[in-house]
Amino acid sequence: MSEDNDNRDRQSEIFRSGGRSACACVERSEGRASSRVCESVAQELVTGGIWQEDAPGHLVSPAPFPLSQTEVAVLRDLGPALLLFYRALNRLWFGRGHDWAKAWLNRGKPEWLLEAARMGHFKQHLPVLIRPDLILGRSQMWITELDSVPGGAGHAAAMARAYAREGFSVLGGAEGIPTFFAEAMRCLAERQDPVVALVVSDESEDYRPEMCWMARALCEAGLAAACVHPREVIFEEEGLGLLLEGSRRRIDVLWRFYELFDLRNVPKSELILYAARKRKVRVSPPFKPFLEEKLALALLHHPLLEEFWEAEMGQHFAVLRSLVPPAWVVDPSPVPPHAEISGLRFRGRPVRDFMELSEATQSERRLVLKPSGFSPLSWGARGVVVGHDVSREVWTQALENALRSFDSTVYILQEFREGRRVEVPTCDVRDGREGLLRGRTRLCPYYYVCEERAELAGVLATVCSEEKKLIHGMRDAVMTVCSEEGDSGVQDG
């Protein structure tokens, strides 16, 4: 048996056992305790500067999270579908008609930012990194949102290196994320040796360590790159620059790791925008706030746009829509007597006013209310309210707030999708204690775009205990990368 097959069998045995005998399984197959793998992953995160040695950020698993062949096939097909969706959304915003949809996408945005987005030479610019958040269900995955300024790539890349070094096969490969990121930067800059600045604002400070890791990885891939604060960007007439190893270099690509709602608080943001408008630098993600709205996925289900999506996306439209839970824009505008909020039902009747949902019982409130974008509440799950996880009073207040906020911050209402239960073996590197986490899983695949292709570079899995309604990185969660293990997948708990 080859080493790859042996590692795959060992990994499957760990997860099928539910972790109860994970250590014994590993020791029998290769004489290597699971704690050694966990220590290797933790050491990679520490030496890479992503973790502080005395402050690990989460639990570690002795193996990558295994996905079935069917699940991996869905993820591989998803990248091209999402790229087509972004392209179609871009055409929707720039094209004629559907003014009501564009009005939703533009709601609450300053006119100066919309004017910047309308610049002719920005017209075809799309994100070169696409990262959806998916809940792993019992028989399918659910896309809950698209992250417009996604973190986690450096974290996932560092763990992929560690698991690969321990003999595991990971999706995207040991160097998948840095390799595809570097290639995307070359495509965006239209040159083989671009200078790349990863610009991280104060608001995104928690992600600076992993972005510094990514900058070093890009250098290893042959690019000149640095992670800098906006204040470190040098403005000159010929463009933007930065100091690299004591020399001033002109920036070809500026990787914007800050949200557009925070633009006025970011030092030199106006100079960066000016340089982009004058075509002196390429900026990604582009300055297009309509591409950073969660409500864009809600538009997939609107019947008035069905023909548009089908014409733009072909067969990918039906596939993508089947993966997105129904969602609605929380618009307080009066609904005419002969109309209804399309597709929204409550107790078997069509809904004409969102406040009707304030009467819902806990079991009827399997809904999620969240800000769509362009707000400090729209990232990190800060503004999310899960209906069946709060009291009726809190739910009613949340609905009222969403309706009142429409002019400044648009909210969406989305059907809640519960992930399947899985059992994951864990190791707490703080004390070496091994255990078993019974929980639910969020998958974050990273797709990098180059030459009209969206390539799957890696997948980050986060498993939180089953009582958590929202799945995100936290100290008592497991975070790991993914691999393909056959058709059986992780054992259901």
The pLDDT tens digits for 99-149 are 999 999 999 999 999 999 999 888 999 999 999 999 999 889 999 999 989
Residue 434 clears pLDDT 80, i.e. is over it: yes
Give the tens place of pLDDT for each residue, 257-301.
Answer: 999 999 999 999 999 999 999 999 999 999 999 999 999 999 999
Q: Give the model's confidence band at 22: pLDDT under 50 very low, under 70 low, under 90 confident, else very high.
A: very low
Share of the chain above pLDDT 70, in %: 91
Identify whether 488 is part of a domain. no
| Number of structural domains found in the chain | 1
Identify whether 369 is part of a domain. yes
What is the residue-averaged pLDDT of the chain?
89
Identify whether 101 is part of a domain. no
- pTM for this one? 0.91
Give the tens place of pLDDT for each residue, 359-383.
Answer: 999 999 999 999 998 888 777 677 8
- Mean pLDDT for the stretch of residues 451-462: 96
Identify whether 385 is part of a domain. yes
Share of the chain above pLDDT 90, in %: 80
Identify whether 368 is part of a domain. yes
Q: pLDDT at position 1, please?
A: 39
CA distances (Å), 339 to each of 34, 77, 84, 186, 342, in order? Answer: 60, 37, 32, 50, 8
Domain span at residue 404 reads: 330-415
Identify whether 431 is part of a domain. no
Residue 27 clears pLDDT 60, i.e. is over it: no
Identify whether 449 is part of a domain. no
Nearest Cα neighbor of 101 from 262, 342, 285, 382 is: 342
Identify whether 411 is part of a domain. yes
